Amino acid sequence: MQNTQLSKLLSYTLRHRPDELGLTLDAQGWVSVADLLVALQARDAGITRAQVEEVVASNDKKRFAFSEDGQQIRASQGHSVAVELGLEPQAPPETLYHGTATRFLASIMAEGLRPGSRQHVHLSPDPVTAETVGRRHGKPAILRVAAGAMHAAGTEFYQSANGVWLTAAVPPRYLTPD
Ligand code: HQG
């Protein structure tokens, strides 16, 4: 299996459907690397621990992380299964950005940003990253999020291990098309 394909399988397994490989995540989203390897090798006997380590290390968005002792692995964010990532709430920058597709703008400006199937709304630290996120869905549009004002009003923000900012939802009054 190519690294890209293994990365996609890891995302799918560690964020959405561990059960399809017969795995169960713990409450913080971790699974034993040994168990994961056995499950992956049932799919493709050629997958090795070294290849998993290479995919984790070379992943463009640092989507996965090993525990300190190297015995466990989890996705850093993007889960649809309920996990408690154990992130401490943090004060966000004054402005964050959300990349979306132009066709979603009317709905977003009416309802605000909703997490959809994920656990959080994902926000980017800069407009360039947001544009890349938005482009995945179609013609990109960038929204400025008044994160500092939301935080001052009591909303919690978290920053995942790979720098993505997470929050529960963003009401329309904090959004401005960029
Ligand atoms: C949109 C990727 C209509 C929202 C990225 C987005 C990110 C609404 C889509 C991570 C809406 C959900 C997450 C509303 C939100 N009406 N549309 N009220 N509220 N939306 O993929 O943020 O490669 O679940 O704008 O880089 O695009 O997976 O979220 O367009 O970090 O590691 O609903 O996924 O990372 O789409 O992306 P998604 P996202 P990975």
Ligand 1 centroid to residue 122 C-alpha, Å = 7
- Final residue belonging to a domain, choices 30, 46, 75: 75
pLDDT, mean over the chain:
96
* Enclosing domain of residue 36: 3-75
* Protein residue with its CA nearest to atom 5 in ligand 1: 133
**Together in a domain, 50 and 111:** no
Alpha-carbon Rg for the chain, nearest whole angstrom, is 17
pLDDT in tens, 46-64: 999 999 999 999 998 899 9
Report pLDDT digits (tens) over 103-120: 999 999 999 999 999 999
Q: Is residue 83 part of a domain?
A: no
In this prediction, residue 94 has a pLDDT band, given cuts at 50, 70 and 90, of very high
Order across the sheet with 158-159: list the strands.
Answer: 121-123, 165-167, 158-159
- The token pair at 24 is 């169960």
* Spatial separation of the C-alpha atoms in residues 168 and 106, rounded to whole Å: 20
140: confidence class by pLDDT, cuts 50, 70, 90 = very high
Q: How many domains does the chain have?
A: 2
Whether residue 158 lies inside any domain: the answer is yes
Answer yes or no: is pLDDT of 65 > 90: yes
- With the most atoms of ligand 1 within 8 angstroms of its CB, the residue from 63, 109, 122 to mutate is 122
